[in-house]
Chain A
Amino acid sequence: SQTIHQWPATLVQPVGSPLSLECTVEGTSNPNLYWYRQAAGRGLQLLFYSVGIGQISSEVPQNLSASRPQDRQFILSSKKLLLSDSGFYLCAWSEGQGNQPQHFGDGTRLSIL
């Protein structure tokens, strides 16, 4: 069966520091991969999605970037964090073709001080 791993679970970072969040998927090939941000008590905002290695699409202009160095690995990064980057970051995957459900990782709660 397919599984998705996301780490770390929580992270406290100072303003201006770099960020790297990692997500990996097991048990499937060529998945679509997604990064979402969820502010406290709010909905899901799609940040990036990827349909293949090295293919990244950005949904909103922001201080973050994403990379997909391997088929089942998706990384969210920032060179300098802002206070507004605080939130709950969720990685998700779906089958590569067709309208398929997305399956979420356990999320990373990021607090910027």
Chain B
Amino acid sequence: GENVEQHPSTLSVQEGDSAVIKCTYSDSASNYFPWYKQELGKRPQLIIDIRSNVGEKKDQRIAVTLNKTAKHFSLHITETQPEDSAVYFCAASRGYGGSQGNLIFGKGTKLSVKP
């Protein structure tokens, strides 16, 4: 089955710097890759997602890139702000409905943005 590895587990940056979180997946049939942000004690919230028919997607300060050949995808946050501090999860899924549509999550990256 699918396996998603996420690095780093913790990341500390200065306000205004960029942050990059990387994930690799094992199943070449995976074709949907969402990213979630979870603030302390809160629910995970979808912040951006990408499908395998595109290589990059951007939404304001957040971008995701996908390399299908290498089977990895990354989250890029530019001009980081203290409110970006949270745990970020990547995920992957491969198919339609049933268990094949289930998301496989990485173990999370705790991002700390220092003012």
A residues within 8 Å of B by Cβ?
32, 34, 42-44, 46, 49, 51, 57, 59, 90, 94, 96-107, 109
Say if the beta carbon of B98 comes within 8 Å of chain A.
yes
- Report yes or no: B44 in contact with A98, Cβ–Cβ below 8 A: no
Name the CB-closest residue of A to B100. A99
Q: B98 contacts which of A46, A51, A59, A90 (Cβ < 8 Å)?
A: A51
- Report yes or no: A104 in contact with B34, Cβ–Cβ below 8 A: no
B residues within 8 Å of A by Cβ?
31-32, 34, 36, 41-46, 49, 51, 89, 93-99, 101-103, 105-108
- Report yes or no: A49 in contact with B99, Cβ–Cβ below 8 A: yes
**Closest chain A CB from B9 CB (angstroms):** 10
| A–B complex contacts, Cβ < 8 Å, 29 sampled | A32-B97, A42-B107, A43-B89, A43-B106, A43-B107, A43-B108, A44-B105, A57-B98, A57-B99, A59-B102, A94-B101, A98-B96, A99-B31, A99-B51, A99-B93, A99-B94, A99-B96, A99-B101, A100-B32, A101-B46, A101-B49, A102-B46, A103-B46, A104-B36, A104-B44, A105-B43, A107-B42, A107-B43, A109-B41
Name the CB-closest residue of A to B104. A46
Q: Which 10 A-B pairs have the closest CB atoms?
A: A99-B32, A104-B43, A43-B107, A44-B105, A101-B46, A104-B44, A101-B34, A106-B43, A43-B108, A99-B93
